[in-house]
Structure 1
């Protein structure tokens, strides 16, 4: 234990600069986070430590302190109060510097440009913020994100239409994330076109896409093909394949296969 002679019990000074707590005031500390704790004019109380699995640290003079889940400012106040209540320092100025974030991270997986684990730098980090950290969806990524985590001790899963947050002003769907959440962006749904099409292949289904638009994406019919002789293969609910003669204004569904027949003339 530190000798009390090395501490200034009556120290009352102007607050020292707090480089980290001011840039991340709301970040909730979590297990694995590395922090540096300083008390102004008391260098003997400067330590670097890591938050344990149960959310606590051991600090000189006051022993175990539970910091897990507290924001930086709240953690500073809790240590300062303990030092003051214990009679060690009359008016302690405590500063916590966040050295490494490991406790509160979110995994972003699937069709994003930079998949990986990203820290929750503030307590109100939203889905759109985290997708931006991951570089957004790739060209083959879907407009829908699936968020999985735990809320109030129960498994949480929510499927969110990303574009509707902005296009339809569904701001409530831009949910606040929590440590341990996972975000998954699936491959965008596609349709297939072959036969007498200029560019046969698979293409992404855009919102509200019709058969006519799908045909245009395939370059339209060749000189031998006819837009009036289309055949659409669609998987039914029972797994069987239906053959449909579609209208040009019919919607295109995921995994539809459009065949462009030859013209009769």
Structure 2
């Protein structure tokens, strides 16, 4: 009788353990790591303003708007294509253009006013009380 009771208790404990462990299994694959924020580079577009800093040459440092044709003009560098580039790529292009006039130029470009390329704009039109263009940003909600 005692052995029967012990055997019944043992099987009951095993049954409870199997039931509980069955609830803990996960048949879903792990969610992928989100790295999109770290990889995103803002693309300059018409209407943006960029601050160009030329190290050791403050007379060449200035803030300029990106024209509707996507180009910028600065002293010594005329009609340089800015649209479709990120800030670091534009800085390297300005450095290449300035190499004709300055020895080893170091340029930093900071986007100070964001409108973005046409493909990254949200347009509020129609009978809106304030029609406007908004720059799109990741994880934007309405």
TM-score (norm 2): 0.59
Q: Where in structure 2 are the equivalents of 1:32-181 lying within 5 Å? A: 32-84=47-99, 86=100, 88-104=101-117, 105-107=120-122, 118-120=134-136, 129=138, 132-135=139-142
Q: Which runs of 5+ in 2 are unaligned?
A: 1-37, 125-131
For this pair of structures, how many residues does the alignment match? Answer: 96
Distance 1:91 1:34, change over 3 A: same
Structure with greater strand percent: 1
- Which digits, 9 at most, give the CA deviation of each residue in 1:61-84, with x for residues without a partner? 122211111111110000000101
Runs of 4 or more above 2 Å deviation:
103-106, 116-121
TM-score (norm 1): 0.33
Structure with greater helix percent: 2
Does 1 or 2 have the higher relative contact order (CA < 8 Å, sep 6+)? 2
- Which digits, 9 at most, give the CA deviation of each residue in 1:6-32, with x for residues without a partner? xxxxxxxxxxxxxxxxx9972111000
Aligned partners of 2:115 and 2:121 also within 8 Å: no
Please give the root-mean-square deviation of Cα atoms over the aligned residues, in Å.
Answer: 2.5
Q: Which runs of 5+ in 1 are unaligned?
A: 1-22, 110-115, 122-128, 136-265
